[in-house]
Amino acid sequence: MMVLYFLQGAALALPTVLTPSPFKLYVIAQALQHGFRRTLPAIFAPLITDGPIIAAVLLVLTQTPAWFLHLLRLGGGLFLLYLAARLLLSLRRAAPQFQPAEQVVRENLLQAVIVNFLNPNPYLFWGLVAGPIMMQGLQQAVGVGLSFVLGFYVVFIGGLFALILLFSSAGRLNPQVTRLLLAVAALAMVAIGGSQVYQAVGALAA
């Protein structure tokens, strides 16, 4: 069971890494202008910012009835399907690319933490998508819930590591490679979102 939740967390991290966000745009801008070594500490900012977010999610979710958790799971699945649809539509219109920020601030961990705290994505992600899955695992055993978190951050931090390595060494990704990676992210979101909706509807109908 721990392996299953670890893999689920890892699979959920893939579209999170590949989908553009203010934090990733900031990290990429730093990699483009300041190189790999100066940017590396910034990728660990989510380990600082997500802790309070996860704690708040746990506090809220542990005080709610089971049906509310199923509704959150349903909302998270629909949210992932919405993001996947937007991503697929953007692939049809033009080649999406990560664009560096117009004005790049000096790279340091504090600034990366601020950028991520002001980014709504972690709140939506842990509140709608990852929180209910983590709670489901914790209800079985603490180790099961933590294995989900571990799987997510192993892939997420590893993905950010690869991202800044690519942008610092090559300048920017080939547009065709970017399109392929985003297509993979969209398909992953469809698979995970569809699974979330299916499980939630089944639980609510039972």
pLDDT tens digits, one per residue of 172-191: 556 676 677 667 777 877 88
CB 115, CB 22: distance < 8 Å: yes
Domain that holds residue 50: 2-205
In total, how many domains does the chain have? 1
One DSSP character per residue, 54-109 reads HHHHHHHHTTS-HHHHHHHHHHHHHHHHHHHHHHHHHHHHS-------SSPPPP-H
Note the pLDDT of residue 177: 66
Query: pTM score, two decimals?
Result: 0.68
pLDDT tens digits, one per residue of 37-57: 888 888 999 999 888 878 877
